[in-house]
Structure 1
Amino acid sequence: MSIPTAHPFDFDPTYGMRLGELLAIEPPEEPEGFDAFWEARYRKALMVDPRPVLSRSELTHPDWHVLDLVYFSTDAFKIGGWLLLPREGQVKRGLVVGHGYGGRDQPDFNLPVEDTAVIFPCCRGLSLSRHPPISENPSWHVLHDIDKPNSYIIGGCVEDIWLAVSTLAALYPWLSGHIGYSGISFGGGVGAMAIAYDERIDRGHLALPSFGHQPLRLKLPSVGSAQSVQEYQAEHGNVLETLRFYDAATAARRIEVPMLTAVALFDPSVAPPCQFAVANSIPKYNEIFILDAGHFDYPGSAEQEAALRDKIGQFFRMP
């Protein structure tokens, strides 16, 4: 292990916790009505016709056909993104790929998957799905309607993932039951909530998942969107009422499909105890991959990322 020791932060991004302590973290107490809250949202999302529109993209790649994609999510929200189709082989699987809180300006062409139709959606308010007055700045986006538990923007982002699955199923009906999800950071946290209630997703990969163990997330010093939420809480004092319903660790307890979760021992943006709360909560079929650090460059990062990429390729090749 080469956990960073030199860093510019005025707090310790390991929070003084070693691997054994991190693996012992449990999810927080969950609010009454958590399942009813999400099941109702999922039923509503299933009733939406995504009406996907595909067009030839200006982007090109030797291994992939690249198509620009627009589909409709809940509340008639127009979602932009890309669809990749393999130039060789047949489309036998589907994959939805979430993004971090920085959004996405193009697909990831280096995904280690074959025979797969891959959708890269931009969640509402971000990148190709920008929609003023929603801010594209993560520190403001994460606060959008945070005072309204039923309309907090993170819930809409989960619905955008469900509608990406609906889009794949509409375009390629034979992929039903063979659709996976992969997401990092913001996309990891949103993905945990999406997978927990969408039985159409048959396996998932979450890396450095955000939104885990919200009570801890409000307390542990962080940078980025978590810091923004902490500052809002310090001023208003009422944010946990909403956040308890948007807890990736609570949702992860409901996941019943094979999972590969990558979590870090050092991370200034998504506190490791919050990441591990998500990974530890998945009840079965979960392989945990340990990274020395997340959201931070460190010696050996390229080797660890390469090893994780190989794992991801093997994971999504399974039937």
Structure 2
Amino acid sequence: MTPAAPPPLPSPYDRWFPGSPLDGTYGYDRDALLAVVPAAEPDGFAELWRSWYARAREVPSDVVVEAAGGARRSTHDVSVVIYTADGGLRLRAWVAVPVGARPRVGVVHSHGYGGRDAPTFERVPHDAAVIFPVARGLGALNAGVGAPDTSSRHVLHGIEAVETYAVGRSAVDLWHAGTALLDLLARQDGTLGNLPLYFVGTSFGGGIGALAVPWDDRFVGATLEVPTFGQHDLRLTMPCTGSGEAVRHHVADHPEAREVLAFHDASVAATHLRVPTRVECAAWDTHVPPPGQFAVANGVGRAAGANLELAIHTAGHAEYPGQSREQAAAFAATRAHIARTLPT
């Protein structure tokens, strides 16, 4: 018997992505996406993350500038630093310090599962000091350090236990990155060690940011772009072209891993946010299914004090007409959001 042809893609995606193996809407319209609820919170979720944060704050960063005099921009001087992260790993990051301006905020700027090849400044105000941490195991700065260097292997690394899962360890590493930035600034001027922090992260970075930010009172705001790791109950039913596919297949063979994922669900963590949070979700995305993204945004919407600012992009993890316009607006919106979250 000839297999039934897949249903046609919805407009305008049928014209934009005619060769797509999946419908990146997953059958959800805007109203359905806004109705997706966060996953159920497992017992001990908040206590576990708070304990991890308390433990992380006791670790000295021992940050040093490994390569000074890196690429200089018109607004920032860039260097490579190395600092102590979770489990004693020494991780590298780029740090950018404003040129001719006293920093008003420190930005921890994470990245997607492809790693990071260089700093990106589109969302960074001219008066922000920034650390661009590269997740354990990933390129360009930390390949082979503490985790595998491909997304399909990284997302499964340590999944045998809650304490060892690479997603959680990468979120914990963000706290260490913030400490490293503030310690470095404090050496220049002791008062800069008390700068407020703001988080920016996309995809993988958005997911681990949602996991990390709620427990760290140094952060005054966040932007989470197309965040992953949200609502595993749904994600595990949805084939995708991103790292979630490796997780889906793994859990099918190892159902006990579902208990580990429950403590690494970004939609659950989002309900604990207490700072203004901007979430950018995509209506179409075969890489990170939109229902998972919106579960994170809707979790923020439920969180007292988080003041959700939601932006809906036409598509995610894809090139499409109007993308540059949407991105430019999003970049400007993050810079404006940072300015609004800073103490007066």
TM range (shorter): over 0.9
State which drifts further: 88-97 or 289-298: 88-97
Partner of 2:3: none
Q: What secondary structure is seen at the aligned counterpart in 1 of 2:214?
A: helix
Alpha-carbon shift at residue 177 of structure 1 (Å): 5.2
Pick from 57, 71, 81 the counterpart of residue 69 of structure 1. Answer: 81
| Structure ranking higher on relative contact order (CA contacts 8 Å, 6+ apart) | 1
CA distance in 2, matches of 1:215, 1:265: 19
Q: Is 1:225 aligned to 2:243, yes or no?
A: yes
Please report the TM-score for the alignment, with normalisation by the length of structure 2: 0.89
Q: Is 1:102 aligned to 2:111, yes or no?
A: no
Pick from 167, 175, 179 the counterpart of residue 162 of structure 1. Answer: 175
Q: Is 1:4 aligned to 2:13, yes or no?
A: yes
Q: What secondary structure is seen at the aligned counterpart in 2 of 1:15?
A: coil
Q: Is 1:25 aligned to 2:36, yes or no?
A: yes
Q: What secondary structure is seen at the aligned counterpart in 2 of 1:94?
A: strand
Q: Which amino acid aligns with 1:308?
A: A
Alpha-carbon shift at residue 53 of structure 1 (Å): 0.7
CA distance in 1, matches of 2:145, 2:326: 38
**Cα pair 1:78 1:129 within 8 Å, conserved:** no
Q: Which amino acid aligns with 1:5?
A: D
Alpha-carbon shift at residue 35 of structure 1 (Å): 1.0
**Cα pair 1:261 1:279 within 8 Å, conserved:** yes
Pick from 286, 289, 307 the counterpart of residue 311 of structure 2. Answer: 289
Partner of 1:188: 206
Alpha-carbon shift at residue 272 of structure 1 (Å): 0.4
State which drifts further: 180-189 or 36-45: 36-45
Note the residue ranges of structure 1 that are not aligned, 5 or more in a row: none
Q: Which amino acid aligns with 1:223?
A: T
Q: What secondary structure is seen at the aligned counterpart in 1 of 2:161?
A: coil
Alpha-carbon shift at residue 313 of structure 1 (Å): 1.4
Q: Which amino acid aligns with 1:183?
A: G
After superposition, residues 146-161 of structure 1 pair within 5 angstroms as 146-161=159-174
Q: Is 1:306 aligned to 2:328, yes or no?
A: yes
Alpha-carbon shift at residue 49 of structure 1 (Å): 0.4
Partner of 2:7: none
Cα displacement string for residues 25-55 of structure 1 (whole angstroms, at most 9, x for unaligned residues)? 1111111110111111111100000111113
Alpha-carbon shift at residue 193 of structure 1 (Å): 0.7
Query: For the pair shown, which has the larger CA radius of gyration, 1 or 2?
Result: 2
CA distance in 2, matches of 1:266, 1:74: 35
State which drifts further: 106-115 or 116-125: 106-115
Q: Which amino acid aligns with 1:110?
A: E
Alpha-carbon shift at residue 276 of structure 1 (Å): 0.3
CA distance in 1, matches of 2:92, 2:80: 8
Q: What secondary structure is seen at the aligned counterpart in 2 of 1:125?
A: coil
Partner of 1:213: 231
CA distance change for structure 1 residues 129 and 217 in 2, over 3 Å: closer, same or farther?
same
Please report the TM-score for the alignment, with normalisation by the length of structure 1: 0.96
Indicate the RMSD between aligned Cα atoms, in angstroms.
1.6
Alpha-carbon shift at residue 133 of structure 1 (Å): 7.1
Partner of 1:251: 269
**Cα pair 2:236 2:247 within 8 Å, conserved:** yes
Number of residue-to-residue matches in the alignment:
319
Identity %: 35
Alpha-carbon shift at residue 132 of structure 1 (Å): 5.5
Partner of 2:285: 267
Q: What secondary structure is seen at the aligned counterpart in 2 of 1:118?
A: strand
CA distance in 2, matches of 1:3, 1:41: 45
Q: What secondary structure is seen at the aligned counterpart in 2 of 1:5?
A: helix
CA distance change for structure 1 residues 51 and 3 in 2, over 3 Å: closer, same or farther?
farther
CA distance change for structure 1 residues 139 and 288 in 2, over 3 Å: closer, same or farther?
same
Pick from 41, 49, 57 the counterpart of residue 60 of structure 2. Answer: 49
CA distance in 1, matches of 2:22, 2:74: 45
State which drifts further: 234-243 or 257-266: 234-243
Cα displacement string for residues 214-251 of structure 1 (whole angstroms, at most 9, x for unaligned residues)? 11111111112101111111222222110000000000
Structure 1's consecutive aligned runs of 4 or more residues displaced over 6 angstroms after TM superposition are: none
Alpha-carbon shift at residue 62 of structure 1 (Å): 2.8
**Cα pair 2:107 2:198 within 8 Å, conserved:** yes
